[in-house]
Amino acid sequence: MALLQIAEPGQSPQPHQRRLAVGIDLGTTNSLVAAVRSGLSETLADADGQVILPSAVRYHADRVEVGETARVAASGDPLNTVLSVKRLMGRGVEDVKQLGEQLPYRFVDGESHMPFIDTVQGPKSPVEVSADILKTLRQRAEASLGGELVGAVITVPAYFDEAQRQATKDAARLAGLSVLRLLNEPTAAAVAYGLDQQAEGVVAIYDLGGGTFDISILRLTGGVFEVLATGGDSALGGDDFDHAIAGWMIEQAGLSADLDPGAQRSLLQAACMAKEALTVNTSVDLSHGAWHGLLSREQFDALIEPMVQRSLKSCRRAVRDAGVGLEEIEAVVMVGGSTRVPRVRQAVAELFGREPLTDIDPDQVVAIGAAIQADTLAGNKRGEGEELLLLDVIPLSLGLETMGGLMEKVIPRNTTIPVARAQDFTTYKDGQTAMMIHVLQGERELISDCRSLARFELRGIPPMVAGAAKIRVTFQVDADGLLSVAARELASGVEASIQVKPSYGLTDGEIARMLRDSFQNAGDDKAARVLREQQVDAQRLLEAVEAALLADGERLLEAGERLAIEAQMQQLRELMEGSDGLAIEQQTKRLTQVTDAFAARRLDATVKAALAGRSLNEIEE
Amino acid sequence: MGSPCHFALFDLQPSFRLDLEQLAVRYRELARNVHPDRFADASEREQRLALEHSASLNEAYRTLKHAPSRARYLLALRGDELPLEVTVQDPDFLMQQMHWREELEDLQDSADLAGVAVFKRRLKVAQDELNESFAVCWDAPQRRTEAERLMRRMQFLDKLSHEVRQLEERLDD
């Protein structure tokens, strides 16, 4: 094989196969998968032509049923059918009790603090249930696109905290999906609209889904989406409208509120149908058992008004956080099925003083945007100037516990990520040799009102008088919004750090068991899968290095350095033909090592070139 | 990696007068080049470097685009010791501060949203004037001590505008 491949500038060194990547909207009520095909982002349908997959999972003794049939079966088999599982993601047993006055499941304890739902197939964590939905979407995409996926962009509500994000990533891992990026749902919607309509200026994304509400204020400028502020409510959505109608029915029919799970389900289904009917009709007939009644749209509007007002309040706060005026907002994008409710559209139009945009199907717009981003991240480059960049923010402040049970913010909410920030603390007792670092998330002052993310201890501080030690705590949030924290005593250099593993995540033991189970269930050969993953990793690296050499090898490398890199590449190519996974992995690492310095030089050069206001190509000329 | 000067990162000379529009354009241009999303396919080390570059770029942008933090940063660059909290020797301003605060308390007591809007506009005018004074002062080396005093005033008004926002949020409940 030739060591040097020659290609025209701007072309890939080898005819590049398009890398298949999808965008997934893992929703509370419905989930969707979309992909970019022939330059167009579109949702993918199942064999029956259905695009929407209801987020319903029914467990049978010997199989798992996902989607519409499971949803329909919910009232007949409430204990084994899980709906709206997204509301349980990353939640502890206590949270769930607070949330779910109307959750008809039997919960059992697991190894971690996560609530497990007791089903005929044994206890299922919300992560496993979500993974079953993701698996169905993955299979649909692979069948529809005709190949294996490189990865997926999965959307999450902007308001999701660390635990909920981590749980979503765990679910993807269980479903055998490589996560290219977790993307905030409103940002995804903006991507869909921004590219299609070349919008510029400040826009608001009002996203009222089944279980969550998000508001985001974004600035769009030449392909860069800058999130100015986000806000919302992770427990407000169309499901609450259903509950409001169901509550009204219980009251009108004089039923006891303490219904059995089956009756609860059928009541909620009737309520949901009534809500949908009221989008077009001004009243709807309802019945439950012997009771019949009529619900007018005015009555419905009154029932949901408190929830609509709650959403508007979040909007006003986000606009303030963004530092813009309501009048500066040039477009309001509607996302989520619940924005079909006429009262919602009307209230939003009144607040922003303009009609909201509803051109793209509000149920599909998030998946469509996610697919566009997935396509870019998978390395299917767009033309110059069309390249997308998302500058996201953290939705909630991150901080530390300080004296007196107070939360000291280290990174305030709505800070652009990635971000790294350090804060110095000191000891408060003479001779203190250890310090507890308690990482928190939230906006309130008292730590009891914030969410505890992690605790760890910095030990081995040399004994000094109180206040003499200087402990620097560094927070780093990556582009997915995931946090790691490190603490270091500056005089002695002792260190401790933690990748924040939220308290309501799964334990490693649980993840291992679930992965094992999923391999068995899928009849998958683990070794073969691992080998395939290593081959894919190796191939990715080879392609990246090839592209880098082609672009900058001449300019940034000595002849000897280049030869060394090429020798390692050749060796990796040869190993990839074989089936020794370990050898491939080791060689991949070796190649990474020899290209480290090159990588650093390239990044520096890129920055310098950007500073000079010119692209690399121009410098070469 | 030492941290380069925030201004140098944007290829700018340290100065208080800044074309914010141009700064934003530069920022987006740089962010585009170093954001980790561009390195989704690259080696681990490249991803880590991108993360670090991106984080320091974000930090620099945040510091420079905001007038009070920009002023503070300029003074720090010049080597002035600048503890966050000091006893301010600025009696005129102290009087004015008290007036501002009393007014804000009255607005809270009367839950007067329209009044808050007027207050905000006045505050904005005061901030703009102060920014201009700082800029003038910064350009004249012999007026150093004054620059620091003006920066303290800027910080106070900044804090006040945060309080106004919190008040708006409370009144919105």
pLDDT reported for residue A195: 46
Minimal Cβ distance to A389: which of B32, B46, B165: B32
Which residues between 379 and 398 in chain A have a beta carbon less than 8 angstroms from any beta carbon of chain B? 379, 387, 389-391
CA–CA gap between residue A97 and residue A262 (Å, rounded):
20
Give which of A209, A202, A114, A195 is closest to A155, Cα–Cα: A209
CA–CA gap between residue A221 and residue A199 (Å, rounded):
8
- The set of catalytic residues of A is 25, 86, 185, 207
Test B37 with A595 for CB contact under 8 angstroms: no
> Is B163 within 8 Å of chain A by CB?
no
pLDDT reported for residue A8: 34
Which residues between 95 and 154 in chain B have a beta carbon less than 8 angstroms from any beta carbon of chain A? none
Model confidence at A311: pLDDT above 50: yes
pLDDT reported for residue A274: 95
Task: Determine phi and psi for B11, rounding to 5 degrees.
Answer: 60, 45
Minimal Cβ distance to B59: which of A419, A609, A610: A419
Residue A499 — very low, low, confident or very high, per pLDDT cuts 50/70/90?
Answer: low
Minimal Cβ distance to B11: which of A221, A389, A611: A611
pLDDT reported for residue A503: 47
Residue A602: list chain B partners with CB under 8 A: 46
Give which of A355, A366, A298, A384 is closest to A23, Cα–Cα: A366
Q: For chain B, which residues make up each domain, given as ranges?
A: 6-65, 91-172
User: Could you say which DSSP state residue A478 is in?
Assistant: -
pLDDT digits (tens, 9 = 90+) for A168-177: 989 998 999 9
More confident residue, A67 or A530: A67
pLDDT reported for residue A94: 67
pLDDT reported for residue A297: 95
Mean pLDDT score across all residues of chain B: 84
pLDDT reported for residue A524: 47
More confident residue, B29 or A302: A302
pLDDT average, residue stretch A559-582: 88
Minimal Cβ distance to B54: which of A418, A612, A613: A418
Model confidence at B142: pLDDT above 90: no
pLDDT digits (tens, 9 = 90+) for A402-450: 877 888 889 988 888 889 998 888 887 888 888 888 988 887 778 887 8
> Is A187 within 8 Å of chain B by CB?
no
Model confidence at A196: pLDDT above 50: no
DSSP one-letter string for A343-369:
HHHHHHHHHHTSPPB--S-TTTHHHHH
Mutate to test the interface with A, among B21, B25, B46, B169 (most CBs of A within 10 A): B46
More confident residue, A234 or A49: A49
Q: What share of chain A is helix, strand, coil (3-state, %, to 5)?
A: 40, 25, 35
Q: Is A551 helix (H, G, I), strand (E, B) or coil?
A: helix
CA–CA gap between residue A462 and residue B20 (Å, rounded):
46
As a whole number of Å, the end-to-end CA separation of chain B is 47
> Is B40 within 8 Å of chain A by CB?
yes
pLDDT digits (tens, 9 = 90+) for A558-567: 888 899 899 9
pLDDT average, residue stretch A6-31: 66
The helix (run of H) or strand (run of E) holding residue A170 is helix A162-174
> Is A418 within 8 Å of chain B by CB?
yes
Q: What does each C-alpha distance from A507 to A95, A257, A511 come to in angstroms?
A: 18, 37, 6
CB A440 within 8 A of CB A453: yes
> Is B21 within 8 Å of chain A by CB?
no
Residue A419: list chain B partners with CB under 8 A: 55, 58-59
Test A389 with B31 for CB contact under 8 angstroms: yes
pLDDT reported for residue A98: 60
Residue B126 — very low, low, confident or very high, per pLDDT cuts 50/70/90?
Answer: very high
Q: Where are the alpha helices (DSSP H) in chain B?
A: 6-9, 20-34, 44-65, 67-77, 91-110, 113-139, 144-172
pLDDT reported for residue A617: 40
Residue A383 — very low, low, confident or very high, per pLDDT cuts 50/70/90?
Answer: low
pLDDT reported for residue A11: 37
> Is A610 within 8 Å of chain B by CB?
yes
More confident residue, A603 or B82: A603
> Is B33 within 8 Å of chain A by CB?
yes
Q: What is the ipTM of this complex?
A: 0.77
pLDDT average, residue stretch B61-78: 91
Architecture of domain B6-65: Orthogonal Bundle (1.10)
Mean pLDDT score across all residues of chain A: 82
Mean pLDDT is highest, among A184-193, A324-333, A476-485, for A324-333
Q: How many CB atoms lie within 10 A of CB A214?
A: 32
**CATH class of the domain comprising B91-172:** mainly alpha
Lowest mean per-residue pLDDT among A185-199, A202-216, A380-394, A425-439: A380-394
pLDDT reported for residue A96: 67
pLDDT reported for residue A117: 86
pLDDT reported for residue A344: 96
CB A124 within 8 A of CB A115: no
pLDDT reported for residue A614: 43
pLDDT reported for residue A14: 39
Test A541 with B56 for CB contact under 8 angstroms: no
Q: For A103, left (φ over 0), alpha (ψ -120 to 50), or beta?
A: beta
